[in-house]
Each structure stands twice: as C-alpha cells, then as structure tokens.
Structure 1
Amino acid sequence: MTSPQLDGPRLDPAAGGPPRQLVVFLHGYGADGNDLIGLGREWAPALPTRFVSPNAPEPCGMAPMGRQWFDLSLGDMALIAEGVKRASPALQAFLDAELQRYGLPPEALGLVGFSQGTMMALAAGLARKPSPAAIVGYSGALATLEALPAPGTGPDILLVHGDMDEVIPVDAMLMARQALAQAGLPVEWHVAEGIGHGIDGEGLRLGGAFLKHAFATAQHRHSQNS
C-alpha cells in the first residue's frame, strides 16, 4: 500500500536565494496547511529558510472542510499512538522529498507542530536518522516513544503550552517533557500563562529564536564532524 502524497502552501526565504534550512509545519486536527504557514512569515526575516505546511492526508470527520493526520474522535492514547504510526510513512516520505528538492542535509530540517501536529512532529522527528535540528511542539502531547535517537544525537526540542488549554491540558506537555527527559533527550519548555489552545506572541517569539539557535548548533556540530 503506497502512502498518500502530501502537499501544501510554501514560503520562499525572505531574502531570496536558495534556502539553507527547511521548516515544516504540521497543523492540528480539523485545520489545513494554511493554518500555520503564517508563522513562517513572522519568522522569515531571521531565518534563511524555506517554510512548507503540508495538508494532512485525511479529510476530518468532525470538520468537513479540514484535514486530520488521524482520527482523534476516539481519544484513547493507545489508538492515538496507532494513528500516529499509520500517518508517519506519508510524512516521512514528504520530509525526504522536500529535503531532496532543495538539496538540504538532514540536519537542516526543523519540525513545528500544533496540537495533533505536535504528536506527529515528535513521533516523526524522533524516528528520523539522522535527526532533524529541532522539534517545536505547541499545545500537543507525546503519543509514542517507540523510536528514539542514540544519546547525544537527537534533535533540540521545545514544548510550549497554555496553562488554560481546554483541548489538551497542560499536564500533557509536562508528561511529555518528563518522558523525553527520562529517555535522555534534552527538552526546553514554556508554560504560557492565561493562554488556551493556541499560540501567543511570546510562544511565537520563543519558537523562532529556538529554531535559529538549533540550526546554528546543528550546522556547527556537522562542520566539526565532517
């Protein structure tokens, strides 16, 4: 069975020229690629980056005009983990193809997820070898720890969550942080006070700064090893 081919809106580097990095946005349940591509416009002045925001492969059962990475209506974490696993091959194929399209190495990749997209970003990013430079997860959860990078080779991870989130409680982020730390993965995190299921200005600023630093660190590490 072949994986569905993903596609979605793209943004060129703000300064023109070929991109030095690729940031892939993974949208939440019932949205589509247009929902997050605007973050790229905010970050573009500081990052020589191609931004792309693929539409999830399935039509959303609860939002007919939207898309889903997998069915969330059942809500059980074991079923969510299965959903992540089923959706991952199409996403991994897309990431491989986009890096090849722009002639970029694995360490030039950053994944940014929101809600269900964060579940996908963590699962896909941790499974990739070599690892991407960074994973930024907003308002999400950790669905699975089946595949992990070797110690010292994993991506930089930032988790951001509103303490008033009514869709995915902030406890999900705290549990993800603990599980990732126990697995030997360094995680930075930020609780946005008074914020629900969304991204505020401070979270946006933190994400952009985190990506810039992670790309610089990954490039330095690669140049030392080459």
Structure 2
Amino acid sequence: MSLPTIDGPRLAPASGVPKALVVFLHGFGADGNDLIAIGAEWRRAMPDVAFVSPHAPERCMAAPTGRQWFPLTFRDPDERRRGVIAARPTLDAFLDAELARHGLSDDRLVLIGFSQGAMMALHAGLRRKAPPAAIIGFSGMLVSPEALKEEATCRPPILLIHGERDDVIPVDALFAATDGLAAAEIPVEWHLSPGLGHGIDGEGLRQGAAFVASALKPRRTSLRASSQG
C-alpha cells in the first residue's frame, strides 16, 4: 500500500543556497499555512535556511477546512500512540524527499511542531536513522514516554515551549515530556510562557529562533598541532 503524499508552502533561503532545512508541523485542524509565517519572520536572520510547512495527510472532521496528522476523539487513551505510529512513515518519506531535494543530510534538519504537530516532531524525530539538528515542540506532548528509551534511535537537542494557561494540552504535559525525555537520557530544554494559552507568543518565537540558530551553527573541529624536529 502506497503512502499518502504530502506537500505544503515553502520559502526558499534568502541567500538562494540552502544549507539547512526547517520543517514546521501544524496542529490538529490547521494546515501548513498556519506556521509558514514563522519562516517568513525568521528568514532574514537565517538566510541559508529553507522552510517548508506540509499539510497533514488527512482531512479533519472537527475542522472541515483543516487537516490532521491523525484523528482524535479524546476518548481513547491509546489513540495518540496509534496515531503517531501510523502517520510517521508518511512524514519520514516527506522529510527524506525534502532533504534530497536540497542535497542536505539529517544533521541540517530542524523539526518544529505545534500541538499535534509537536507530537509528530518528537515521535518521528527521535526515531530517524540519523539525528536531526534539533527538535522544537510548542504546546505539545510526548506520546508514550514509557516506550521512548527502547525505541529512540537518536538523541538530538530538544526545546519544549508551553503556555502556562494552556487549556487544550495542559501544562502538565510539558513536565511529563521533560521527565520522559530525561528518563531516556535525551537532552531537553524548556520554557514556560506566563499567562499564555494554547498558542505561541513572541518570547517563544525568540527562544525558538535562538535554538535553531545555535543548532545549525557550524561546529569547530579542533586541530592538534604537531611539532617537527
């Protein structure tokens, strides 16, 4: 059975030469247009970065004009795990194709997700064959943290950002995620946005941009000087 094909809005690097790729994964009931504006805001400060924000593969019954990575009834405690597992091959295929399009490897890839998209970014990103440069999750959660230590194939740097007053995915999900990542020995930083509900604020965007820039910064290679006699 063939995988669904996904696509979405793109922003070419301002320099014209892609040296890194940032992929935005939108939330339940939205689509790729929801987050690509972040790329437009960051593009000038990251001139060598290409941005893409794919539309999730399924129509969302709860929001007929929107999309979903997987269905949610909020009644079945196991539906998120089944959902991320089912959606991961489609996302992985898209990421592989986008990296190939730009001639890039996973160490130049940053995954950024919001809400359901953050669930996908964490689930897929931690199971890639090679580690991405970074993962950022806004207002999301870590699905099935108890399985992570056994299933994780890589341990990229992660930043989680959550609104203090989120009434869609309560802030407890942030701390459950940090605990789950720590138990799997995966490095994680986090930021709590005071007074913010289920969304992304200016400080979250600032911290996200700084995290991306740091993750994509060229690493210096130390050279050992040799003496000649």
Scaled by the length of structure 2, the TM-score of the pair is 0.91
Matched position secondary structure for 1:127: coil
Q: What amino acid does structure 2 have at the position aligned with 1:116?
A: Q
Matched position secondary structure for 1:220: coil
Residues 1:44 and 2:47 are matched in the alignment? no
Q: Which residue of the partner structure matches residue 199 of structure 1?
A: 200
Higher-helix-fraction structure: 1
Once the two structures are superposed, the pairs formed by residues 64-83 of structure 1 within 5 Å of their partners are 64-83=64-83
Q: Which residue of the partner structure matches residue 108 of structure 2?
A: 108
Q: What amino acid does structure 2 have at the position aligned with 1:99?
A: L
Q: What amino acid does structure 1 have at the position aligned with 2:152?
A: L
Equivalent position to 1:147, from 146, 151, 158: 151
Does the Cα contact within 8 Å between 1:60 and 1:66 map onto a contact in 2?
yes
Q: Which residue of the partner structure matches residue 208 of structure 1?
A: 209
Deviations 1:88-131 (A, max 9, x none): 00000000000000000110000000000000000010000211
Distance in 1 (alpha carbons) for counterparts of 2:159 and 2:75: 24
Q: Which residue of the partner structure matches residue 176 of structure 1?
A: 177
Q: Which residue of the partner structure matches residue 24 of structure 1?
A: 23
Coordinate RMSD, CA, aligned: 1.3
Q: Which residue of the partner structure matches residue 55 of structure 2?
A: 55
Q: Which residue of the partner structure matches residue 157 of structure 1?
A: 158
Does the Cα contact within 8 Å between 1:21 and 1:50 map onto a contact in 2?
yes
Q: What amino acid does structure 2 have at the position aligned with 1:174?
A: F
Q: What amino acid does structure 1 have at the position aligned with 2:38?
A: L
Matched position secondary structure for 2:104: coil
Aligned residues: 217
Scaled by the length of structure 1, the TM-score of the pair is 0.93
Deviations 1:188-209 (A, max 9, x none): 0000000000000000000010
Q: Which residue of the partner structure matches residue 129 of structure 2?
A: 129
Does the Cα contact within 8 Å between 1:70 and 1:87 map onto a contact in 2?
yes
Distance in 2 (alpha carbons) for counterparts of 1:211 and 1:135: 9
CA positional deviation for 1:75: 4.4
Does the Cα contact within 8 Å between 1:11 and 1:40 map onto a contact in 2?
yes
State the 4+ residue runs in structure 1 displaced beyond 2 angstroms: 74-77, 144-147
Distance in 2 (alpha carbons) for counterparts of 1:77 and 1:133: 31
Matched position secondary structure for 1:65: strand
CA positional deviation for 1:147: 2.3
Q: Which residue of the partner structure matches residue 220 of structure 1?
A: 219
CA positional deviation for 1:76: 3.2
Matched position secondary structure for 1:176: helix
Q: 5+ unaligned residues in a row in structure 2: which ranges?
A: 223-229
Deviations 1:154-182 (A, max 9, x none): 21100000010010001001100110011
CA positional deviation for 1:149: 2.8
* Identity level (%): 58
